[in-house]
Chains A and B, each alone.
Chain A
Amino acid sequence: MKTSRKTTGEFDVRVWSGGAGSPVLYLHGFEQHPGDAPFLRKLAQTHEVMAPEHPGYGSSTGFERLHDLQDLILYYRTLVDSWGKGPVDVIGHSLGGMFAAELAVMAPHLVRKLVLVSPYGLWIDDQPLADPFVLLPPQFAAAKWHDPSKAANETSAFDAAEGESAANYRTVNLTTAAKFMWPIPDKGLSRRLSYLTAPTLVIHGESDGLVPASYDQAWARALPQATTVRIPGAGHMPMVEAEGAFTSLVNDFLG
């Protein structure tokens, strides 16, 4: 995967891209962009992958332009349009799952197939999600991972050469996440899901303590066309903890 910067209007965004095949847009989760991640490289063997770092994350700019979720989805609509590939497949992980679903609602002509991985966006009153902004590091790791010792396998877009500290990088990222997840990561998507018509695959890690796999029932109810799959031995990061199972599920679905 190679990195570049892509300027769209007032947004200047870091992008990881590579591979050949049908076009896939990957939208990362609430903590960070995974950088040159093994699972992205694997997807790039059969797809042309574009993985932008959300505005407001890392060194991607434009956070101050985002008043609400709609502004961000319009940005992604413009980005996909300017890619010039016609409709693309969209994979969204975690908070990126919420963004991907919103994009499929707002711009159905641009989204061919949709993959939602451990997606935020729904809220079930009697199954309240853990608060990722309050959990202390050990509890957070326990919720995020099936096996917290696998945390070292997670890749990151953090680049010390850019002059920021790792702590500041994380603060910048979580500040942007807070914009869309605070205090409850439900910004009305459930009202809009009836407009989502793309074929959809919903993947959950069986041991995800942040977005429990049981949430897949709500997705299935809202999206009759969706297939739901739970990956064993994985938490909130199935593409890291169960990379093989994850990539073959995704490739089979996207075709």
Chain B
Amino acid sequence: MKFHWFAEATYPHLPADYHERKLSSWVDTPWDLADPVKVGQMYHMFIRLMQQADRDGFDGLAVNEHHQTPFAMTPSPNLLAASLASTTQNAAILIIGDSLALYNPPTRVAEEMAYLDCVSGGRVIAGFVFGTPMDSVFAYGNSPPELRERFHEARGLITRAWTEPKPFSFNGKYNQLRYVNIWPRPIQPKLPIWVPGSGSLETWDLVIDQNYCYGHLSFSGLHSAKPMVDAYWEYVDQRGGDMNPHRMAFTQLVCCAATDAEAEAKYYDAVRYFYRNNSIGPGFLAAPGYTTIRSQQAMAQHIQNNAANLKPEDRARAAAGEMSFWEYDEKGYIIAGTPERVRQRVRELATDLRIGQLIGCLHMGDLAEETAAENTYLFGTEVIPHLRDLWADQPDHWTPKVSQDRVAARSQATKEAAQ
């Protein structure tokens, strides 16, 4: 089982009445709520925390792409990845991922990921994403019925650009390039590729056909995800796909502390900040043609199937920041408490959902840096080592060999130093 450090780069200084003002937290959020100097300080904090995660035993450092939102101020994951590739040694650089339709031409993705793989010594995981409706069709203006086609065309171009030994011409529907011959190229002969999704059947077919790692990057936890993830594995099985848990990633908010009471005291405000300040304007949640009708129907079925475990009113209360700390925990939104408790709950989660790649959100909302640092340390040193037995009998082809070896070597060295 692998563990990756992640945080949404959420702007932490929104006004206290932000939620009550009913602004959309995506697309048209007024910029005058933010201070670019503080944004810079925030970026430095995330870089420090991820450098620490690299030392504390995490398998990967996850960076993502969102646009026009204080919820996740990472317009290019490759920029943050560049800061990490040159200042960390062990963990994979998990780019999860570049929104392929938004790079023009998409060979820029091929080049930048190749650059990052070179700088990091072969530690890049290439994540390809469609982008949320807010990102890809509203902020970046892609016509929703064209988005998937653009994604697939770009994916074909990028993967070919990494491997085709000679210059080639690419005459696509959306991209015409007379000479494709990227410099640099990745160190890894075959970059691990991850594609996250929220239940679209077309994405399931893609990851099964290509044997990519699928990711369900929700922040709503076990109960919310279970019907969809179960349906996913059933679908993989039916289609004769690879059932290896290492090709399934899942995000989970984690709040670790010396005692359960301390966890509540240190994290509750930040958890509420994280959920209640991410209020997407309802007009921006969906766009016609972004999801096929076939997938819409399947996704509606999953929501219906989990109504017993997570009622619609629970979802609304969670989003409004109206749950108690331990109710967030009970409903699966967070996993909180002592390392012993967190260990056990992560084990249950990973086993129940058949997950081999956990993307832990170790910082959320406006959490203090020192708390996030403690969270990172406790999770890295007192949770991860106790869960290494999970899925240990199955090979992991979806993280880089270099990071696997270096993380294992560092863990061994730490163990020996402690003895």
- Residue numbers of A with Cβ under 8 A of B are 63, 67, 131, 133-136, 168, 170-179, 182-184
Contacts and interface: CB of A to CB of B under 8 A. Distances in A.
The CB with the most chain B CB atoms within 10 A, among A135, A171, A176, is that of: A171
Interface string B284-314: 1001110001001000000000000000000
B141 interface: yes
B293 A183 contact: no
A172 B138 CA distance: 19
Nearest to A183: B141
Q: By DSSP majority rule, is chain A's interface helix, strand, loop, or mixed?
A: helix
Contact of A135 (B143, B145, B283, B296): B283
Contacts of A183: 137-138, 141, 143
27 contacts: A63-B145, A67-B173, A131-B283, A133-B283, A133-B287, A133-B288, A134-B138, A134-B281, A134-B284, A135-B283, A136-B282, A171-B288, A174-B289, A175-B144, A175-B288, A175-B289, A176-B145, A178-B143, A178-B144, A178-B145, A178-B287, A178-B289, A179-B145, A182-B142, A182-B144, A183-B138, A184-B141
Contacts of B173: 67
A67 to B, nearest CB: 7
B146 interface: yes
A173 B173 CA distance: 23
7 closest Cβ pairs, A-B complex: A175-B289, A174-B288, A134-B283, A183-B141, A182-B143, A175-B288, A175-B145
Interface residues of B, number: 18
A171 B293 contact: yes
A175 B289 CA distance: 5
Contacts of B138: 134, 183
Interface in B242-298: 281-284, 287-289, 293, 296
A65 to B, nearest CB: 12
A172 B283 contact: no
A184 B282 CA distance: 20
Given A136-B282, A174-B289, 11 more contacts: A131-B283, A133-B283, A136-B283, A170-B288, A173-B288, A177-B288, A178-B287, A179-B146, A182-B137, A182-B141, A184-B141
B262 to A, nearest CB: 43
Contacts of A134: 138, 281, 283-284
Interface string B128-153: 00000000011001111110000000
Contacts of A182: 137, 141-144
